[in-house]
Amino acid sequence: MTDNAKSEKTLTEKIFSMETLILLAGLFSLGSGFYTGEAIQYFWGGMIITGSVILHFVRKKDWKKHWEEQEAMQRRYEARVKMEQEAKDVEK
């Protein structure tokens, strides 16, 4: 999926996305907590809303770029360790 196609979501796709549905479930739980007065409903509503916000930011991150950076760092680290090991072997 190209960047343009990914950014051009319709309004219905945005409304019925997973993050939105989870957020609505959290708001419903929070609202039912206000209605019934049960404290556990406040807790679960807050947890669900927090989870949906975290899910939004996790999905927003470019994971492919992140893992490419991690692999490049791992290769640099392994090359440095190999050079240090070779330097130790030369000293002996």
Residues 57 and 19 in one domain: yes
Could you give the CA distance from residue 49 to residue 33 in angstroms, rounded to a whole number?
A: 14
Q: What is the pLDDT of residues 29-50, one digit of tens each?
A: 999 988 998 889 889 999 999 9
What average pLDDT does the segment 47-74 reach? 86
Cβ atoms within 10 Å, residue 31: 12
Written as six digits, the tokens of 47 are 């947890």
Residue 16 lies in a domain: yes
What average pLDDT does the segment 15-27 reach? 83
The pLDDT value recorded for residue 1 is 47
The pLDDT value recorded for residue 2 is 52
34 three-class SS = helix
Written as six digits, the tokens of 30 are 């929070």
Residue 2 lies in a domain: no
Domain ranges, residue 16: 9-61
Is the distance from CB of 21 to CB of 52 less than 8 angstroms?
no
Is it the case that residue 63 has pLDDT exceeding 80?
A: no
Residues 57 and 20 in one domain: yes
Is it the case that residue 67 has pLDDT exceeding 70?
A: yes
